Amino acid sequence: MALKTEHFNLNIGPAHPSTHGVFRMKATMDGEVIVEMEPVFGYLHRGIEKLAEQRTYTGITPLTDRLDYLASMSNNLAHCLAVEKLAGIQVPERAEYLRVILAELQRIASHLVAVGALMNDCGAFMTPILYMLREREKILDLFDMVSGQRLTYNFMRPGGLAQDVPEEFMPALQKLLEALPRFFDEYDQLLKENEILLARSKGVGILSKDMAVNSSASGPVLRSSGVKWDIRKADPYSIYDRFEFEIPTGQAGDCYDRYWVRMQEMRQSLRILQQAVKQIPAAGDIQTKVPALIRPPVGEVYSHIEAPKGELGFYIVSDNSIAPYRYHIRGPSLLNLSALRDMVIGWKIADAILIFGSIDICMGEVDR
């Protein structure tokens, strides 16, 4: 005889802001199975978009650090590209290469946290994430070397960079690039065919290609569903058209594919870094002379980059003053979360934690 159970509501989260942030899943349960889910995004009350409308174009840069605070260099780059496009500012050659180097290092650092934290959600307590934090620390050492900071860098400027990298940076970078392939192989040996990871992630939380496109997903979440879309290739910015690299894509769009795509993207970032180190001019300007108070002409602009979590875009309206008239941010975490409901319905609570973790969000860019 089948047992009849009543549905009940279960609130999952919010968690501490430094983990999955002020996010709550209001789930309707049939036993352990999720039959309905309402995502409640919560608020960090930062109001970055409105704060930006009261600041100078250069003064906005520290605010962008607080969006995806695991990818601050990428946030800096996206903002600066938008301002440069709006104001017609050219960037020196050496600065362009250094920007790409820093952005790809940031992508690897972000993906290391994403994969390591996902393994924690999967039940592999601490070992994988400690392995991955080990290499992330080496990248943070490089960021510390150039900017004096390890999380929020405030290093890029409209027109270039705040300063050139020190003499010891390039040798330290080269040493890291030589070591990374061995560490990537070590991660694969540890995880790729791990029976717990396979059992927990294969076929779980499937995001179909159509659903991914219709929900405006981007980044690894989109590519794991089989959509070969990367802004570095589709709409090249900076000097990305000078580098050879592939766009890894998944097939099933499940949690395993989202893990696998990020692992492959780190290898492709390494390819870009190796090429950039060979091509970068040994010397040259790193900053175009721009006024202390930039006044772009009246107009509007949208500029976007392929950030570690997906398409990070900035829409700016200028009225020829020293601050933007309107400033809007397209955060990939916010859009990628919009598919979560469809991904978790029909799965159990333990699966929902893994599905949520596989999206890899940062609440700083979800806040509105």
Q: Find out if CATH 3.10.20.30 is the number for domain 8-365.
A: no
Instruction: Calculate the alpha carbon distances from 196 to 152, 199, 200, 336 in Å.
Output: 35, 5, 6, 26
Could you tell me what percent of the chain has a pLDDT over 70? 97
Torsion of CA 115, 210, 82, 239, to 10 degrees: 70
* Three-state SS at 187: helix
Q: How many CB atoms lie within 10 A of CB 306?
A: 27
DSSP string, 145-157: HHHS-SS----EE
For residue range 333-361, what is the model confidence (pLDDT) as tens digits? 999 999 999 999 999 999 999 999 999 99
Over residues 80-99, mean pLDDT: 97
14 cis-preceded (ω within 30 degrees of 0): yes
Q: At what angle do helices 255-279 and 169-191 cross, to 10 degrees?
A: 160
Q: Sort residue 342 into left (φ over 0), alpha (ψ -120 to 50) or beta.
A: alpha
The Cα–Cα gap between 229 and 190 comes to: 29
- Is residue 326 helix, strand or coil? strand
Rounded CA-CA distance 251/73 in Å is 30
219-238 pLDDT per residue, tens: 999 999 999 999 999 999 99
* pLDDT at residue 17, as a whole number: 53
Q: What is the pLDDT of residues 55-77, one digit of tens each?
A: 999 999 999 999 999 999 999 99
> For residue 264, what are the contacts with CB-CB under 8 A and spacing of at least 6?
248
pLDDT at residue 21 greater than cutoff 70: no
C-beta atoms surrounding 128 within 10 Å: 22
Q: What is the domain partition of the chain in residue ranges?
A: 8-365
| Token pair listed for 108 | 């690897």
- Residue 327 confidence (pLDDT): 97
Summarize the chain as % helix, strand, coil (round to 5).
45, 15, 40
Residue 12 has pLDDT above 90, yes or no: no
Per the listing, tokens 């795509």 go with: 261
Question: Is the confidence at residue 1, as pLDDT, over 80?
Answer: no
Maximal CA-CA distance, the chain:
79
pTM value is 0.95
C-alpha 360/C-alpha 59 separation (Å) is: 28
Instruction: Provide CB contacts within 8 A for 148, sequence distance 6+.
Output: none
Tens digit of each residue's pLDDT (9 = 90 or more) over 95-132: 999 999 999 999 999 999 999 999 988 888 788 999 99
Residue-wise pLDDT tens digits, 174-199: 999 999 999 999 999 999 999 999 99
Say how far apart CA 240 and CA 56 lie, in whole Å. Answer: 28
Distance CA(166)–CA(184), nearest Å, equals 27
Q: pLDDT value at position 19?
A: 56
Q: Are 296 and 321 in contact (CB under 8 A)?
A: no
CB 210 within 8 Å of CB 339: no
Neighbours of 289 (CB within 10 A): 8
Supply the pLDDT for residue 18: 54
